[in-house]
Amino acid sequence: MQHIVNRARTFLRAQIAMESAIRASDSTPTQYALLMAVSTENLTTGHLGDTLGLACSTLTPLIDRMEFKGLIVRNRSTTDRRVITVEITPKGQAVLDQVNAALTPLFEDMPLEVTEWLVAVPDSVARQMAAV
């Protein structure tokens, strides 16, 4: 039982540290997740909503705010005007790099088993919530 309590404490400390690093970059955890999602490839707004688990009514104002801040840009498809992709900008990449640099020491000091658990728990919770 103590092992579970220790893991929960580690998880909470990591979550607080992650949120602090994200907020220090003048972003929110949801904005950080969106930047992470589009950092490796441009995603359509529909795919982005699915990836982040956000409804269109939540995603659109989020994209508007991030585009206004210069973190991302929207690109309309030339072949199908209904398709809009979201792309990270150099400013958005700089924010992502800043947060990741702040988080690196946090994860380097953690045992691999705890890091894997930190990744697995949110995925597990998300799957359970999606099933409801």
At residue 62, the 3 state secondary structure works out as helix
Q: Does 91 map to a domain?
A: yes
pLDDT in tens, 60-94: 999 999 999 999 999 998 999 889 999 999 999 99
| Section 47-69 average pLDDT | 92
25, part of any domain = yes
Rounded to 10 deg, the angle between the 56-68 and 45-52 helix axes is 110
**12 belongs to a structural domain:** yes
CA distance 102 to 120: 21
Q: Which domain holds residue 83?
A: 2-111
Q: Model's pTM, two decimal places?
A: 0.77
CATH number, domain of 18, equals: 1.10.10.10
**Residue 97 resides in a domain:** yes
Structure tokens at 2: 């103590």
How is residue 89 annotated by DSSP?
-
Question: Does residue 103 form part of some domain?
Answer: yes
Mean pLDDT estimate for the chain: 83
Q: Has residue 87 been placed in a domain?
A: yes
* Residue 114's pLDDT band (cuts 50, 70, 90): low
Establish if 63 belongs to a structural domain. yes
Pair 99, 21: CB distance under 8 Å: yes
> Of the given ranges (20-29, 64-73, 116-125), which has the lowest mean pLDDT?
116-125
Does residue 55 form part of some domain?
yes
- For the chain, the domain total comes to 1
